[in-house]
Structures are given as structure tokens and as C-alpha cells.
Amino acid sequence: MTSRRTPAAPEEPPSNEPPPGSIADVYREVMPLVSFEAAMTKGDDVALTIPADSIHEVIERGREDERLQMNLLRNQTAVDWEERGLEIVYHLYSIPLRQAVTIKSWLPSEGAIVESITDIYEMANWAERECREMFGIEFIGHPDPRNLLLDEDIDIHPLRKSHPLAPIEMEQGVDVEFFTKQHPPPEPAEEEEAAPDAAAAAAPERKRVEDMTEEEREERRAEQAERVARARELAAVRRAERLAGAPPAGGPRPEGAAPPPPPAAAPAAAPAAEAAPASAPAQDDRPPAPPPPELPSIPDAEEDPEGRAAAQAERVRLGRELAAARRAQLRGD
């Protein structure tokens, strides 16, 4: 028997385009010459993807225009998409108008350069420094392009997907080594001959942290602290090898092989009578940092665009020279 009902039309997939009259249309009205690709995010915010050379103009006009008033930079970050390149992301918010927007742009993985927005938002200073050291993005015109989190003598970008973490990463989360030591897996023969109540007999030994005695907790903390110390020693060895340009200690390791154990720590010296008291502050043996260079002023973009670009490039050059001098000073070159 054939049904006479008209079959329902297939549902169209939901559109990712912002609805008409959204903030994306306002941006297009304010800057008609800029190419905007608009989409809705999972948080129901509007995301605008723009060319990298338009970032400063779009963010500056977005703050100054009365219809936008993006006076708060909530966050600035980046994402490494490997083959597609780097994506730089700005989360903006208008406190007076209570509206938000996300500005995105694509950058090449090698030679990623974008104009700094520290002259628009003061809080972009640290955010751009973090993006620079974590992803290798250079911000033209940044007043202080030094490392924010890493040591000044480390020239790596840890949040790049290409950065190898295996030799220096530390275990996180569940303490597998401790659990395996306390509860070794049974041998196959033992497993077959185990009584049905073997699991119940072993249950009291499987203590949670909150069920441990203070002595057991101290023992576990000591083991974890020892592993952290070993990982830090290994990371220090890796950094020294990289700075010296030498191959890893013990020669190259085969793929998948475990890293060699770090050098044994020197035995603790016996306490001397003239030792400093425990409350004495630790002395910093590093040489003092060189004074910051005299930075050139940046002209207005409309009055002197060439002078502005030259001043920004000079600031980047001075910042790099300062960072290189500090690294050489710390290495004792």
C-alpha cells in the first residue's frame, strides 16, 4: 500500500553565517574595503577572519567607531594548525554596548609577522610577548619584545606542534609508577589459580590518597618530588646540549627508546659551622640585565606611514639586539 502523504523535504544543514543585522554587518559598513569572512562560533559569538595586514586597522577602527566601541581586549592568543599555518585570535568586547566579536587571521608557519596592537590596548603587551615566545610570531612595533615566561636564553616555541616534548615532559595526572609498584599485575599462572575472593582480599591495600596515613602521604610526595627533580635535571642537560650544539649525551637514541637517566646529583655536603642560616635569602648569581634601549617614537599612520613602518622596524631590531645581548651575557660569551 502506497502512502498518499507528501514526503517531508530534507532538512537543510544549519547555516554558520551570522544572522542579518549582526555585528559582522556593522564591521562591513564601517570598513567596506576590508575583506571579512564571518561565521558563528560555538559560543554564539561572531568570528571575523581578515587579512593579516588589516589587523591593526580593523581593531583600531573597532575601538574608535561609535557603532562598535570595542574598548576591551578580553584575550589574545594563537593556534598552530600545522599545514594550514598559524591562526592569531583576538577576543574583543564592548562594555557600553555589551557586544562581543572575535577577530582572526592566518599567518604562515615560517616568518609569521603581524603589527602590534599595544598602542590600542595596553594589555596586549604581555599577550603579544607570550604569543611571540610560544608560537614564534613577531609583532612589529612592540615596545618590549622579550620572553615573558621562558628564560631569556631559550630560543624555542613550546606551543608549536613541531616542538618535541617527549625528552623533557613530566608525568601528569595518575601516578602509574606508584600504582604499579603497589599493585603489581599477577603472573599468568597465578591469575588462573587465583581464588574468586582474591580481588576482595587485595581490596584493602588499594588506598586512596584521602585514606592514607600521614607517613604514606609523605612517602608518596617524596617519590613524586624525586621524579620531578630528575625531569628538571634532564631538561637542563637538554638545554645545555642544544646551546652547545652537541649531540645528545650518549649519542643519538633509536626511535622510541627511553631517554638516558640524568647525571646523579652530587651528595649533599655536611652542614658547616659557617653555613648561612636557613632564613637567609637565596643569592642570584646571574649578571644584571642590560638597560633597555632608547626606543624611537612612532609617528601617526595617516601623516607619515613610511616613518611609522621604519620606526616600528627599528623597535623590533633594538628588541632583538637586547634579547641577544642578554642571552650572550647569561651564557658568559
Range among 67-71, 170-174, 217-221 with highest mean pLDDT value? 67-71
pLDDT digits (tens, 9 = 90+) for 253-269: 444 445 555 555 445 44
C-alpha cell at 308: 611609522
Q: Do 62 and 68 contact (CB within 8 A), yes or no?
A: yes
pLDDT at 174: 53
Q: What is the Cα Rg of the chain in Å?
A: 29
Which of 28-42, 87-101, 200-214 comes out lowest in average pLDDT? 200-214
Mean of pLDDT values over 178-196 = 61
Q: Do 117 and 59 contact (CB within 8 A), yes or no?
A: yes
Angle between helices 55-64 and 23-30 (to 10 degrees): 100
pLDDT digits (tens, 9 = 90+) for 2-15: 444 444 544 444 55
Q: Within 10 A of 37 (CB to CB), how many other CB atoms are there?
A: 12
Q: pLDDT class for 242, splitting at 50, 70, 90? A: low
Mean of pLDDT values over 289-314 = 73
pLDDT at residue 23 greater than cutoff 90: yes
Looking at every residue in the chain, the average pLDDT score rounds to 75
With CA atoms as reference, report the closest residue to 72 among 120, 125, 34, 115: 120
Instruction: Compare 292 and 125 and report the one with higher pLDDT.
Output: 125
Entry pTM: 0.49
pLDDT at 231: 74
Which of 82-91, 171-180, 300-309, 320-329 comes out lowest in average pLDDT? 171-180
pLDDT at 143: 92
pLDDT at 260: 52
pLDDT digits (tens, 9 = 90+) for 91-149: 999 999 999 999 999 999 988 999 999 999 999 999 999 999 999 999 999 999 888 88
Q: What percent of the chain has pLDDT over 70?
A: 63
C-alpha cell at 254: 633509536
Bridge pairing between strands 46-49 and 99-107: parallel
Which of 17-31, 75-89, 170-184 comes out lowest in average pLDDT? 170-184
